[in-house]
Structure 1
Amino acid sequence: MASISAAAKATSAAFAHKKELAAAVPPQQLARSRRARAGRVRAVATPTRAPRSPASTGSVKSPMTTTEKILARASERASLEPGENVWVDVDVLMTHDVCGPGTIGIFKQEFGEDAKVWDREKVVIIPDHYIFTSDERANRNVDILRDFCEEQKIKYFYDIKDLSDFRANPDYKGVCHIALAQEGHCRPGEVLLGTDSHTCNAGAFGQFATGIGNTDAGFVMGTGKALLKVPPTIRFILDGEMPPYLLAKDLILQIIGEISVSGATYRSMEFVGSTIESLTMEERMTLCNMVIEAGGKNGVVPADETTFKYLEGKTSVEYEPVYSDAQARFYSDYRFDVSKLEPVVAKPHSPDNRALARECKDVKIDRVYIGSCTGGKTEDFIAAAKVFLASGQKVKVPTFLVPATQKVWMDVYSLPVPGSGGKTCSQIFEEAGCDTPASPNCGACLGGPRDTYARMNEPTVCVSTTNRNFPGRMGHKEGQIYLASPFTAAASALTGYVTDPRDFLS
């Protein structure tokens, strides 16, 4: 369970930022900044010196959180406080096939038919939601994106033309939030805005990332600026060894169940602690992805060696991480001993309707869905494969697999699963009787046109690794969705009931 403390505690040492913004970084990261990150990442330790007054040194007078620092730098302010409204320079603007046409329409309406985007290399356009469908309006949306990108010479447009075989489209990626990370558009210390509420996924990289509406996006498209209110920060301190039957999805469902879907409304959610430091980048993405389900403005994980290693070879853009000051003021602290947590699910029809998976063992299900930006990454499929492998059984309900991106799809067919004797996820899934992995896209997570693969067209009960479970989210308004980790989803597929993965994992 969580405990709340009003006092913010120091978790890192203080460092100086070249623009007079203090940044704190753990000692183990300093060697990295001197070696492989030289010339790309600058986080220089302040030498020991006698104390001086802030006025004589030019030091930041007000300690800040990570989010406050990022927005301060982006607005060229020495310091910021929660509640202030500031104009910030945007580093990346992302839009997709659902909101892109509306954003483009507003951009042209307000700036003119012949207007040019503020920076063709900072606008990223990713078709991903309603792709593999015969719906004419959905297909028209992608055509609108394509025409605009050709007109504007947008550098990062991940197009798809041949819907019969996604592999025939080398530029096509898949789900925008995972594609942004894989293609190097997520970088510490930057501001990334997107016309999708789960844009907060990118906070896993130690950056400010949040979703915005089409009108705001149209303005950003023309100016590169956005007016943002600085959010207060809630700090979530997760310590303890991660049990082998838990995943980050369990952690975020635990947190949302603790604070409710409105518990972090317009607040930043910063994740720290030994458990967070041990998580992979994909698991950190899962955490940050669902802060919006708690009402959060953004989520953020301090950048560290894991972050820098993930980014190697993905971007040539210089980036500069920042960290919360030791004396930064947090709205509140929540503490979790992860070693004592159990697998959880979110019952219909809200992400905060938390229950232990073992408490739902009598809930009969009709299907399992593994996919989406939240639960369709490479490690999510490997986790599911481990459960199937451990059981040696076949699934008892239809089990749909939708890789988030083309890279994830390739991993499913090529990477050996640890402990499998060289078998890939796809081989294990086939042996377990799952559906063949589908073309990478958002799939049924958002329902979509009626011919969307795995859409809930009947009032069925589904265990899903997606992020939302309100009525109609995955299709039929009377469908019931239990949100769960890939471990729990796979275990449930094997029994036909909501199942604690510990029944199969030692």
Structure 2
Amino acid sequence: MIIKQPMTMSEKILAKSSNNPSAQSGQTVWSKVNILMTHDPCSPGVISIFKKEFGDQAKIWDKNKHIMIPDHFIFTSDKKANANVDMMREFAEEQGHKYFYDPKTNNYKGVCHIALAEEGHNRPGEVLVGTDSHTVTSGAFGTFAIGVGNTDAAFILGTGEILLRVPETIKVIFHGKIEPHIMAKDLILLLLKDLTTQGATYQTIEFSGEVINNMTVEDRMTLCNMVIEAGAKNGIIIPNRETIEYVKERSTINEFEIIEPDKSANYTKILEYDLTNIQAQIAKPHSPDNVDSIINVEGKKIDRAYIGSCTGGKTSDFLAAAQILKNRKVTIETFGVPATKQVFYDIINQQIGNKSVYEILVDAGVNMTGEASCAACCGGPIDTFGRINSSMSVISTTNRNFSGRMGDKSASIYLGSPLSVAATAINGYITNPKEFI
């Protein structure tokens, strides 16, 4: 008789995907991959390796499971960046791809991590692999979602499998009741302050607690998105009713399994937080774990505010910013970039009072003329919308503030929630959003 050992969420999913009765941390398994996502910075490398190893005429393992989403360096005149997308387009035609979201067509979506969710590619209990570190965002759906390099992605492209070491798991429990001026971004920054950028290296962060149970889909995405900043292999959350309904409304595959951890599962660490009196959190230059309470950095002069990215460019992020910016004006240069075209449509159609969210932002002085994409979050070519081209201080809803991350290496980047960014944009210095809520 085989006695199954208690397992965490990630262990259970990898046991299932590798056709094993159990999987324990430290074990190596061959896992089936349900979805492979590649984007424009990495697709050419993945395609080149695939053709070298499997042959110029080789067919990928499943044309319906390889999702290609250009999003990083697309709205630019840079020839090398454009060549990347051209190569993706040619490969999609060769292989008969069903899911290539081409910027030259109405099928273009926007930032890959948000588009994966919107288009129904995230499903509980599955393994999703992407060529971007923030692929971990999909863990919000109870998915084992990880980022990998080009070689691993090329192997998946040919075989549909990946060799993985099963990660250990850190359990994070959020208790209490958070105040209206606190967002998921504040929670993940608080966790990063404790874990640091290396505190969860090659480990799963499994979120739980009553705060998580009641959290919206997009807030869950924000949490899982930034676990990579602690070095984590992935972040994961048991899907709640709202999450399950979200998936069912979008996915063409309605057969999926909700995986929950065993009560006696083994965790390498358990961190518990009472969030009842938490303050807004700010990551100071030049690391996402250089986190402080906003109370200690209030008054710091800021030159530019930025709302966007897979972390802070979702519909709920712009809605939060609009709640503060309604009937007010920004006093510093402020950019807003919807993560996807769907987010853009949402903020045009969603109203606060007698104005749409989009109208409120524009009336407040936010520059919303950029196309849905990663834009300035990852720097990009010199003509990238919102890119920092000179030394300045910026507060952003994005996920990283390393030197040079948004352009100029001498810039100082502060990270905060959409509420904190909006409040700061009004005053021109770091401002506690509680002042406006």
Question: Displacement of 1:453 after TM fit?
Answer: 0.3
Please give the alpha-carbon distance, in whole angstroms, between the structure 2 residues aligned to 1:359 and 1:139. 44
Please give the alpha-carbon distance, in whole angstroms, between the structure 1 residues aligned to 2:386 and 2:130. 26
Partner of 1:160: 103
The AA in structure 1 aligned to 2:306 is Y
Equivalent position to 1:203, from 133, 136, 139: 139
Partner of 1:257: 193
Partner of 1:366: 303
Contact 2:25–2:168 (CA<8 Å) still a contact in 1?
yes
**Counterparts of 1:76-155 in structure 2 under 5 Å?**
76-155=19-98
Identity within the alignment, %: 52
**Counterparts of 1:98-497 in structure 2 under 5 Å?**
98-161=41-104, 169-317=105-253, 318-389=255-326, 392-417=327-352, 421-497=353-429
Deviations, residues 85-130 of structure 1 (Å, cap 9, x unaligned): 1110000000011100000000001000000000000000001111
Please give the alpha-carbon distance, in whole angstroms, between the structure 2 residues aligned to 1:343 and 1:423. 28
Please give the alpha-carbon distance, in whole angstroms, between the structure 1 residues aligned to 2:100 and 2:394. 34
Partner of 1:33: none
Question: Displacement of 1:242 after TM fit?
Answer: 2.0
4+ residue segments displaced more than 6 Å? none
The AA in structure 2 aligned to 1:202 is S
Q: List gaps (5 residues or longer) in structure 1.
A: 1-54, 162-168
Question: Displacement of 1:325 after TM fit?
Answer: 0.3
Partner of 1:13: none
Question: Displacement of 1:376 after TM fit?
Answer: 0.2
Contact 2:39–2:69 (CA<8 Å) still a contact in 1?
yes
| SS in structure 2 of the partner of residue 157 of structure 1 | coil
Please give the alpha-carbon distance, in whole angstroms, between the structure 1 residues aligned to 2:74 and 2:239. 33
| SS in structure 1 of the partner of residue 276 of structure 2 | helix
| SS in structure 1 of the partner of residue 249 of structure 2 | coil
| SS in structure 2 of the partner of residue 382 of structure 1 | helix
Please give the alpha-carbon distance, in whole angstroms, between the structure 1 residues aligned to 2:338 and 2:232. 26
| SS in structure 2 of the partner of residue 124 of structure 1 | strand
Contact 2:178–2:277 (CA<8 Å) still a contact in 1?
no
Name the larger-Rg structure. 1
| SS in structure 1 of the partner of residue 250 of structure 2 | coil
Please give the alpha-carbon distance, in whole angstroms, between the structure 2 residues aligned to 1:302 and 1:145. 34
Deviations, residues 262-315 of structure 1 (Å, cap 9, x unaligned): 110110000000000111000000000000000100000111212111112211
The AA in structure 1 aligned to 2:108 is Y
Please give the alpha-carbon distance, in whole angstroms, between the structure 2 residues aligned to 1:250 and 1:235. 18
Q: TM-score, normalised by structure 2?
A: 0.99
Please give the alpha-carbon distance, in whole angstroms, between the structure 1 residues aligned to 2:389 and 2:429. 20
Please give the alpha-carbon distance, in whole angstroms, between the structure 2 residues aligned to 1:85 and 1:61. 17
| SS in structure 2 of the partner of residue 138 of structure 1 | helix
Please give the alpha-carbon distance, in whole angstroms, between the structure 2 residues aligned to 1:96 and 1:415. 30
Question: Displacement of 1:363 after TM fit?
Answer: 1.1
Partner of 1:66: 9
Please give the alpha-carbon distance, in whole angstroms, between the structure 2 residues aligned to 1:356 and 1:241. 18
Contact 1:403–1:437 (CA<8 Å) still a contact in 2?
no
Question: Displacement of 1:221 after TM fit?
Answer: 0.3
Contact 1:444–1:455 (CA<8 Å) still a contact in 2?
yes
Partner of 1:14: none
Q: TM-score, normalised by structure 1?
A: 0.85
Contact 1:175–1:442 (CA<8 Å) still a contact in 2?
yes
| SS in structure 2 of the partner of residue 270 of structure 1 | strand
| SS in structure 2 of the partner of residue 313 of structure 1 | helix
Question: Displacement of 1:437 after TM fit?
Answer: 4.3
Please give the alpha-carbon distance, in whole angstroms, between the structure 1 residues aligned to 2:405 and 2:177. 34
The AA in structure 2 aligned to 1:398 is E
Partner of 1:40: none
| SS in structure 1 of the partner of residue 389 of structure 2 | coil
Contact 2:224–2:236 (CA<8 Å) still a contact in 1?
yes
Contact 1:127–1:160 (CA<8 Å) still a contact in 2?
yes
Please give the alpha-carbon distance, in whole angstroms, between the structure 1 residues aligned to 2:338 and 2:15. 37
Deviations, residues 33-78 of structure 1 (Å, cap 9, x unaligned): xxxxxxxxxxxxxxxxxxxxxx4xx7x5211000000000000110
Q: List gaps (5 residues or longer) in structure 2.
A: none
Contact 1:426–1:437 (CA<8 Å) still a contact in 2?
no
Question: Displacement of 1:150 after TM fit?
Answer: 0.3
